[in-house]
Amino acid sequence: MITCIIVDDEPRNISILSKMIHLYCPQVHVAGSATNIADALGLIHEHSPQLLFLDIEMPRGNAFDLLKQIMPVNFEVIFVTAFDTYAVKAFRYNALDYLLKPVDIEELKQSIQKVSTRLGIQDINTRLDNLLQQVREKETSRIVLRTQQGAFFHTIADIILCEADGAYTRFEFVNGKSLLVTGNLKKYETALPARDFCRIHDTYLVNLNHIVRHHPGKSGYVEMINGRTVEISLRRKAEFLSRFRL
């Protein structure tokens, strides 16, 4: 029997997942549940679970804040999350299991099966360490953007897109602001992390994490989180689609 704890800030989500586990995963016992980090820490120390179902966003912190407090761990982790391009890529890269909300029964059963085969193999901390390192890089990485008014420091994850403007580049950010900086688009295509940014047009470099919709067509276009629509050039279409396996 695998002992597990469910951590999710929504009691309804906990109830649904508990019922699914009871009905379809009889080899798993739900020892408890928590809706915040503090209660989750208490349950982990009390029950010493073999498995943690962990929601990403929680009150006063997130899943990564919890893991930082208890590393090294001696249990497996299945992340439960709404769709997030960056997070899903990171989980896959580090061989960590995740479930997308709403949780699918077959995907739940497959994740449990994978966890069962991995229990006792002491590589979970290596995988979590790698994931947390990626999260730290995403949260803290900044770029210096130079304008005629001086140098500005911006968090890379907050950049929605970059737009070519001759010898200059216009940056748009999640806070709704924009900034015209010195240097052409090629300069910033090289400077920004390739795992997050994609040149989809001679004029545009977009942050893949801030795309909300892809519209197919001869070349197609994308909608960004701030409402901007950005055309995909025909010669760059295949590369863009490959990033999402579309």
C-beta atoms surrounding 81 within 10 Å: 17
pLDDT of residue 170: 97
Whether CATH 2.40.50.1020 fits 142-244? yes
Q: Does the predicted TM-score (pTM) go above 0.75?
A: no
pLDDT of residue 128: 66
129 closest CA partner among 62, 64, 47 = 64
The stretches in the chain having pLDDT less than 50 are 86
Concatenated DSSP letters of the chain: -EEEEEE-S-HHHHHHHHHHHHHH-TTEEEEEEESSHHHHHHHHHHH--SEEEEESEETTEEHHHHHHHH-S-SSEEEEEES--HHHHHHHHHTT-EEEESSPPHHHHHHHHHHHHHHTT-TTHHHHHHHHHHHHHHHHH-EEEEEETTEEEEEEGGGEEEEEEETTEEEEEETTS-EEEEES-HHHHHHHS-TTTEEE-SSSEEEEGGGEEEEE-SSS-EEEETTS-EEEPPHHHHHHHHHHHT-
Residue-wise pLDDT for 179-209, tens only, equals: 999 999 999 998 888 878 999 999 999 999 9
- The residue extents of the domains of the chain are 2-139, 142-244
Q: What is the mean pLDDT of the chain?
A: 86
Domain 2-139 identical in fold to domain 142-244: no
CATH class of 2-139: alpha beta
Residue-wise pLDDT for 160-170, tens only, equals: 999 999 999 99
190 contacts: CB under 8 Å, gap ≥ 6: none
